[in-house]
Structure 1
Amino acid sequence: MALFCQKSNCALLTSLKSYQMFYPVLHLRRLPTVFGYLICTSSSRSAKPVDPKAIYNGTPKIKYREKEDGIRQSRAGKDYSSPRPFNLFAAGASKRRSVAQDPLTDLKKPIASKKMTLCPPEKPLSVEEWGKMIGEFGGTKKFEELMMEQMIIRCSPIDVAKSLLVAVANREGDIGYGLLVKYLALCVSQREVEEIYEIQDIMKTRFKVLETTAYGLLISGLSSSQHWREALSLLEEIKKVMTPSKRNYGDCIKGALINQDINLACELFYEMVAKDLIPNLDTIQAFFDVGKNVKDDQWKTKLIHVLFYLRDNQVYPGEVLMQSINQWFERCNTGFIFCAIFCSLPGENWKGNLTSMKNSGQCPSCNQYLESINLSPEEYNILKEKIIKNVIQGTDTFRKTTPQELEEFQTFVNARPPFDVVIDGLNVARVSYKHNPSQTLLDVVLHLAHQNLRLLVLGRKHMLKRSHHWNPKNIAIMKKKADFFFTENVSEDDPFLLYATLHSGSHCRFVTRDLLRDHKACLPDSLTRRLFFKWQRGHQMVLSEYAPGKRIKFEHVQNYDTVVQTTGSTWHIPYDDSLLERSSYEVPTKWLCLQQK
């Protein structure tokens, strides 16, 4: 008898036979759907990838019940919405704000449910012992897959997993696709190359089609082995159906680098980024890890190109990758000149230091100033055109405003001299619920007006009606210090804010605590979105401290750009602190400064 009706040379079968002398005939049949994919059995020797999105939109998930300790305390009298000093775009700012607004967060610890908790055995079990465990669990439904998942998590020995497969084959006469894939995942996690290779042979024989999970596991398992070129063939199979994932590419790239096929690794890297796939950091790290031991000028040139890829795509290394880059610089001691538009880089006598930048943008380690965050005139015009077309005039805008109102506002702005600061009136007025909104807005307007700045305040028409929140006298005082434009109460005011700021020129800033992420998402391409984020960080003023009649403080507006950059004799590389949780709209605050001695 052969597992999965194999006729010969099945190593997995041989291993299983050591656990049981006799197996019932395992019939080829249509296996149940697992992972949300339809599996078709066939005697064909080929297997083709299947795009899971084209087959099944949802993937069954095992649900675990969770609950919190239920701590609830009154917040009466405490103003958790009050602004505190922070940089809106600094790594970790979002996390700090959430903790400040809910000081009970750390006390709310979820209690893990004991239901579905399985503990894998430490040694292989017999069929009878597995049957007893299934009975204690309460039935066979999902037991095998849940147990295999726990084996993966706990890195159980392969022999233990095999004994489970024996028990399943004995009871069912077959082993399902899903369980086989999970066993494959366990083998990959433990780099059991020969097992992976045999499972690949079984799956290609048994199944006409495989889904991307299996292909990804096979690529990951084979790419770091002597069979690494077969991972490339699997990658090509995926390409016939869909775009491979960045993990698929990354595994093949690392396989090529391990086996010193540097040109192939670079070809795969360029192919990957051409498909707008951002490489995982461990893929990039593999280039620099290999580069430490390669004394070749062309290879060094390619690694410099990788650094410029990080710059152009605003990719930030983690601490591990940063250390690998630092070691590469410090170990490259052969003469080397890299000719490029941006720099000339001798490849010897480099020293790296970790630092944080001053507000001025000066590096404390080398005293160099970082690049300005201001856009070039060409970049500014590109961004302005795209913002007007895709955000201000886009169809999404007209859901909350009308073309007539927008045209009225454009006429209003065009008839006036350029503004220095545009203020989101409601956003500023509601910076703290403890204080009167009209008084808050008045204090901020007077504070900025004392600096001889031309101001535009955007508001809504309900602000003109006398109420507890809106004092007409305060509005009258502000109108003497600033221009006002009141939109309809249902209008979206962000497009007006963006138009007035961009129209006034590159010197104009805007005041709001809104992150404007929805509008950034409306932009048509990644380059324009990066320009928008750069412009936003250099122009957005955030009220960080406010006490009526006592203190108004705006967070420092960053004047240097947070990207990989070089002067030729220095490199500055921003990197993620492993202890900080950085959101996608934040930038690192830690830097690697590399200086040529």
Structure 2
Amino acid sequence: MFSRRCIELRHFHFCMGGSRFYGRNTSRIIEKLKQDETLVNLVSNAAIENLHDVNRLKNKILSKSEMFRSDDIDRSLIIYFTKSKQFNNGLSYIKFLEEDTKKKLNLFLMNQQFIIYFHKRYADGSLSTSEQELIVQLYNNLKKTSNILDSLSLENAILGLSVTPNWNLCLTLFNDLKKLEDPSSICYSAIIATAFLNGNEKLAWNLWSEMFAKQKTPYDVIFQAYFENLRKFSDRKKILTKLEKLFVACNENNFILSENSILELQKLLNFSGFTFSDSLVNNNGCCNKCGQKLKKLELIEDEFENLKKQFFEEVIIGKNIFNKTNPAELSEFQEFLKSTKGYNVVIDGLNVAYIAGTKQSPEVYSTLLAKVVSHFVEENKKVIVLGRKHMKSWPQKQWRFISSNALVFLTQNISLDDPYLLYCALHCGKDAILVSRDLMRSHLFALKDPKNKIRFTRWLEQRQFQVTHVRNDGKVLFKNPRPYTRIVQHDNNNWHIPFIVAPEENEEPDKIPEKWLCMQKS
């Protein structure tokens, strides 16, 4: 019997006991270097042209920092060069290290070269013929060495071979890897990317569907490869058709491109003569470049009912949230739901109260919640408040107002109340409003059907209001849902493609404007 992480292969002869020993401390290594500006400059400005450069760099680092040891300095530097995209330095370092030790490359150095060449190809746009041949030679050396390979070495060989003319070998290795474990996102992405580059769209789209079914996130290399392959076409209509297929596939999986992928798309659009520009969408859902009003895609009734049913079965029941509370609470909640017909606002009572912070008095909390209830009552809404039993001890003047103007359900103080809140909002219908600042992401993962995950996300994005401030005069300010759906959209003239901008250091993600690419079809 072989271990979970090892498999006997026709073409490999190595076993390392299943330990992911390389790359395990990557984050720790980089953090160490970031702590010392001198070290960062030293490594970032290094030029590795011979063995003397290797030894000089190691000695300088060891003399300037006690964080590194002589027995791990080589591994640390190679990983740092890889992560900081100093690919040539990383490869040169490995080359001279091999010359210095006069030994064959160990498994770590072989794997690291596969990784470096993979990322170098997509960073530089291509590899030389000699680099591609070296990757194949590394693979052949592994074949000669052992008959068993761990899963990480399989994965890294796939990455390396995927950027060579021998990319079809990846498919055999990929099937071998599946016998050990579920392949990672980067592994799926590498094979999908090379399939697109080499014209095997059927394979690429099949693996794309499989990847999303397994809830894995695609890497940018897929989109870089896709856009790069489209440069082969001179027919703009064909390019638009191919782009539409990709955008539809992204929409179906609620996936938004990264800023890096948009930059690759812009290279294609420039190359093919399309007109485009970065854009923002205003609070009314209109593009500030072309004026097109974006659409809001609502769930149809059947989709919503299926989501509601599955949420109750998989989140309320499936997560067994009632282990921490009175078993009768579920029955009490179900009885409560029978009285909620016609209600259209569900308020997360404690979450709203705590916008003032967690160290305020019950007077402050009850006053805030009462003002939010009053806001919706004045709009002729029927309000439900979900909270916890200790809230009944709040000042009676405010609590009487809350309980007389809203239907109230209070869970035990130790209960998990988010699932109650979400299911109550779902039970009130697809047009009900949910008032909470909690993003509720943890409950998304309990849903098994990927389509229901997307429906849940879209429903929440469209129906959730977040209280941002309550003024002294009682005016309640909200962060309202977008009046449009943040997916790729188009009309007869333009495409609008949303993309994610990575936050700068210390920048809050919520403060970053939502960016779009506005692209003319003609």
- Normalising by structure 1, what TM-score? 0.70
Partner of 1:181: 111
Measure the CA separation in 2 of the matches of 1:464 and 1:128.
70
Q: 1:415 and 1:459 mapped to 2: Cα distance? A: 17
CA 1:238–1:523: 2 relative to 1, 3 Å = closer
Of 145, 159, 166, 2:99 maps to 166
Aligned to 2:517: 592
Q: Deviations over 1:392-451 (max 9, x none)?
A: 333422123444222223323313542121112111112113561112112222222222
- In 1, Cα distance between equivalents of 2:354 and 2:464: 17
After superposition, give the CA deviation of every residue in 1:353-372 in whole Å (9 maximum; x if it has no partner): 43222323233444433222
User: Given that residues 126 and 167 in structure 1 are in contact (C-alpha distance below 8 angstroms), is that contact kept between their aligned partners in structure 2?
Assistant: no
**TM-aligned CA deviation for residue 283 of structure 1:** 1.0
Aligned letter for 1:535?
W
Does residue 55 of the first structure (1) align with residue 15 of the second (2)?
A: no
Once the two structures are superposed, residues 249-301 of structure 1 have per-residue CA deviations (whole angstroms, 9 ceiling, x without a partner) of 4434444554xx41x14423323422434432221232222213314677764
Q: What is the distance in 1 between the residues matched to 2:257 and 2:318?
A: 35
Amino acid at match of 1:590: K
Q: 1:38 to 1:270 in 2, by over 3 A?
A: closer
For structure 1, the residue ranges without an aligned partner over 5 or more in a row are 1-35, 69-108, 334-349
Q: CA deviation at 1:302?
A: 4.5
The letter for the 2-side match of 1:270 is N
Contact 1:127 1:167 in 2 (8 A): no
Distance 2:508 2:18 in 1: 33
Q: In angstroms, what is the RMSD of aligned CA positions?
A: 4.2
Corresponding residue to 1:554 among 474, 478, 483: 478
2:387 is equivalent to residue 462 of structure 1:
no
Give the equivalent residue in structure 2 for 1:318. 258
- How far, CA to CA, are the matches of 1:443 and 1:56 in structure 2? 57
Which residue type is aligned with residue 503 of structure 1?
H
* Distance change >3 Å, CA 364–CA 492, structure 1 → 2: same
Shift of residue 180 of structure 1? Answer: 4.0
Name the CA distance, whole Å, in 2 between partners of 1:431 and 1:579: 24
Secondary structure of 2:25's counterpart equals coil
The correspondence for 1:281, drawn from 197, 217, 220, is: 220
Q: Measure the CA separation in 2 of the matches of 1:315 and 1:441.
A: 36
Residue 176 of structure 1 aligns with an amino acid whose one-letter code is: N
User: Is 2:249 aligned against 1:309?
Assistant: yes
2:371 alignment partner, SS class: helix
Of 46, 52, 57 in structure 1, the residue corresponding to residue 11 of structure 2 is 46
CA distance in structure 2 between the aligned counterparts of 1:407 and 1:222, rounded to whole angstroms: 58
Q: Establish whether residue 205 from structure 1 lines up as the match of residue 150 from structure 2.
A: no
Q: 1:56 to 1:408 in 2, by over 3 A?
A: same
C-alpha displacement at 1:454, in angstroms?
1.1
How many percent of aligned residue pairs carry the same amino acid?
26
Verify the 8 A CA contact 1:373 1:538 in the aligned structure 2: no
Structure 2 equivalent of residue 22 of structure 1: none
Q: 1:332 to 1:443 in 2, by over 3 A?
A: same
Kept after mapping to 1: 8 A contact 2:355/2:469: no
The answer to whether the aligner puts 1:484 opposite 2:420 as a matched pair is no
Q: CA deviation at 1:547?
A: 3.0
8 A contact 2:385–2:409 mirrored in 1 = yes
Quote the offset at 1:205 in angstroms: 0.8
Q: Does the 8 A contact of 1:422 with 1:509 survive in 2?
A: yes
SS where residue 294 of structure 1 aligns? Answer: coil
Q: Please state if 1:214 is matched with 2:153.
A: yes
Secondary structure of 2:159's counterpart equals helix
Question: What is the 5 A alignment of 1:50-449?
Answer: 55-56=18-19, 61=25, 110-111=35-36, 122-125=48-51, 141-149=71-79, 152=82, 154=86, 155-156=88-89, 161-169=94-102, 176-182=106-112, 185=115, 191=127, 192-239=131-178, 241-258=180-197, 261-262=198-199, 264-276=200-212, 277-295=216-234, 301-325=241-265, 328=268, 351-433=275-357, 434=360, 436-449=364-377
* Equivalent residue number for residue 434 of structure 2: 510
The residue type equivalent to 1:61 in the other structure is N
Gap change, CA 1:136 and 1:362, over 3 Å in 2: closer
Alignment partners' CA distance in 2, 1:503 and 1:437: 27
Of 372-381 and 159-168, more deviation after overlay is shown by 159-168
One-letter code aligned to 1:391? V
The answer on whether the counterparts of 2:48 and 2:89 sit within 8 Å (CA) in structure 1 is yes
Q: 1:165 to 1:306 in 2, by over 3 A?
A: same
Q: 1:452 aligns with which of 377, 380, 391?
A: 380
For 1:39 and 1:113, locate their aligned partners in 2 and report how far apart those are by CA, in whole Å.
Answer: 45
Secondary structure of the equivalent of 1:431? helix
SS in 1 for 2:469: strand
State the 1:565 CA deviation: 2.4
Secondary structure at the residue paired with 2:347?
strand
Q: Distance in 2 between matches of 1:579 and 1:395?
A: 33
Deviation at 1:314, TM superposition (A): 1.2
Deviation by residue 1:127-182 (Cα, 9 ceiling, x = unmatched): 9979x96997798533443454456554328565333223323xxx6653324434
Q: Note if contact 1:257-1:265 (Cα within 8 Å) is conserved in structure 2.
A: yes
1:501 to 425, 429, 435: 425
- Equivalent-residue separation in structure 2 for 1:576 and 1:438 (angstroms): 38
Q: TM-score, normalised by structure 2?
A: 0.78
Q: 1:485 to 1:253 in 2, by over 3 A?
A: closer
The letter for the 2-side match of 1:195 is L
User: Paired residue for 1:88?
Assistant: none
| Secondary structure of 2:276 counterpart | strand
Q: Highest Rg: 1 or 2?
A: 1
Give the 3 Å change call, closer, same or farther, for CA 134–231 of structure 1 in structure 2.
farther
Q: Deviations over 1:316-345 (max 9, x none)?
A: 112343344456567769xxxxxxxxxxxx
Matches of 2:242 and 2:49 in 1, distance apart? 49
Distance 2:224 2:209 in 1: 16
When residues 232 and 168 of structure 1 are mapped into structure 2, their CA distance, relative to the original with a 3 A threshold, is: same
SS at 2:257 equivalent: coil
Residues 422, 458 of structure 1: 8 Å contact kept: yes
Deviates more, 1:431-440 or 1:586-595: 586-595
Change (3 A) 1:576 1:180: closer
Secondary structure at the counterpart of residue 156 of structure 1: helix
Indicate the larger mover: 453-462 or 187-196: 187-196
Mapped partners of 1:570, 1:189: distance in 2: 33
Equivalent AA in structure 2 for residue 441 of structure 1: L
2:405 counterpart SS class:
coil
Tell me the secondary structure at the aligned position of residue 457 of structure 1: strand
